[in-house]
Amino acid sequence: MMALDAQSKAFGGLVGGVDGVTSGVVDWAAREAASRGVPMSRVLYQEQQVSRKALLDALAEHYGCSAIEYDERLPVPPELLMTVSVEKAAKRGWFPVIKDMNGTVIVAAVDPTDPELHAEVEADFAPARIEYWVALPDDIKWYIQDFLHAAPGGLAGTERTGHAFWRNNMAQWRTRLACYRTDMAKARTSLVLVRDGLAFTAIAATLIRSVSIHTPPALDFSILAVGVMMLIGGIPPYLKVRRSRLTPPRNQTLVEVTSATLHFLESFHYIEHDGGVVTPTKATMLARLGDLLANYCTILYPSPGSQERTHLARERNVLAAQRTIGACYRTIYSRARTGLSFVRTGVSFMSIGIGLMTYFGFNIHTLFDVMVILFGLLMVIDGLFWYMPVRKEQAELPRTRSAVLAQ
């Protein structure tokens, strides 16, 4: 507080030097700052539109030193941060910002003439030469927030690191979802091969059992061999994928993990009013997640402009969350397509089995027909179990998509 009082005295030099700044304005700003417990400089540049450069020029003239403004692009050497504590730097209002080629440490300070501040800085950086530059209190706060570590959500630099961590989590989950979709595509490809093999086998079985169609036995058995080879080639890859990747996770698991990757909203996004997008409650959890993101899509323009990067990081995370939800939808629908592929293959098996049984009647080959029908029936039932859960999402998807595009 003593440092803030010292800066307040320096702003008397603004009177007459900046358009619109009178002694009355300075006195009013001093009273407002004291009553609110905030720096006077913040009142001047936020509410009186006094430029930050004018404030820094007045401070530099008052203290007879250089001035420095916050810039998150400044490459603060890591060795300067090893001994600096958040509490100490924030209480006295200082931060090490530069170490030049001669080893001089440049410290930004609210009051460069404070002897207690000098003692703290020298305890950390002696015997190096130290030079003090004046900075606004908010600039010191932003430097501390940007370069020192603290709990997520409280500091700008740490917040961006936290956002990057959650973006990586979402990216890893989308990659896993892409792997699931690839595995399901492999299964559908294998089922196509199975259906083709079944077609060749059915043709061969028909030719072999027919008494009205006379073809060379070598041709019949060649067609049968091709069909059997295609069946043998298609079924094992399908069964391998079916056992290893396609049973877990189910739709609910996919949605729950997707929801877990959106947990960052609770730590880094703050809704302080009821001005969010109000949408009717959806029937499914995934659709509700899609609607939830609309409340967090806000472009903010902080001061200084360089801090906008933190807020844009929030926007990137919300967009990443939308892509993650979209990836979950695609994966669920990929499961549905795979289920329909099961159904299609099962119907093919059943149709061929019923057709052969109906045409040729009951004979020694009927056991083969029955096995084909049963195998097809099991595939149809399995496919319906994959497809039916998606029916609930299907009714919600168009409105969710419109809400996302409206943002």
C-alpha 142/C-alpha 196 separation (Å) is: 66
Query: Are 99 and 160 part of one and the same domain?
Result: no
Q: Which pLDDT value is given to residue 95?
A: 93
Give tens-digit pLDDT for 200-215: 887 887 777 776 666 7
Residue at a domain's end among 148, 166, 193: 148
Which of 17-21, 299-303, 321-325 bottoms out in mean pLDDT, i.e. has the lowest?
A: 299-303
Reply yes or no on whether the pLDDT at 277 is more than 50: no
- 385's tokens: 């179990």
CA atoms within 13 A on the CB side of 106: 18
Query: Structural domain tally of the chain?
Result: 3
Q: Does the pLDDT value for residue 280 go beyond 70?
A: no
Please say which residue of 129, 148, 167 terminates a domain. 148
Strand order of the β-sheet with 130-134 is: 94-99, 105-109, 130-134
398 and 255 fall within a common domain = yes
Q: Which amino acid makes up residue 321?
A: A
Residue 126, pLDDT above cutoff 60? yes
Residue 369 shares a structural domain with residue 227 = yes
Instruction: Please check the confidence at residue 106 and state whether its pLDDT lies above 90.
Output: yes
CATH code for the domain of 110 = 3.30.300.160
214 & 228 share domain: yes
Averaged over 61-78, what is the pLDDT?
Answer: 84
Residue 371 and residue 257 share a domain: yes
Q: Model confidence at 152, in pLDDT bands (50, 70, 90)?
A: very low
> For the segment 340-388, what is each residue's pLDDT rounded down to a tens digit?
888 888 888 888 888 878 877 777 777 878 888 888 888 788 788 778 8
Q: Which residue has the higher pLDDT, 250 or 211?
A: 250
My answer on whether 302 and 250 are in the same domain is yes
Q: What is the mean pLDDT of the chain?
A: 77
- 128 and 169 in a single domain? The answer is no
Co-location of 139 and 40 in the same domain: no
CB 153 within 8 A of CB 268: yes
Q: State which residues form the domain around 398.
A: 156-406
For the range 247-254, what are the long-range contacts, defined as Cβ-Cβ under 8 Å and sequence gap of 24 or more? 249/180, 250/389, 251/332, 251/335, 251/389, 251/390, 251/393, 252/389, 254/177, 254/328, 254/331, 254/332
100 and 142 housed in the same domain: yes
If residue 12 lies in a helix (H) or strand (E), which one and from where to where? none
Which region among 78-92, 296-310, 370-384 has the lowest average model confidence (pLDDT)? 296-310
- The answer to whether residues 58 and 166 belong to one domain is no
Q: Are residues 74 and 127 in the same domain?
A: yes
The structure tokens listed for 65 are 């030193």
CA 379 distance to own-chain centroid: 37
Residues 400 and 260 in one domain: yes
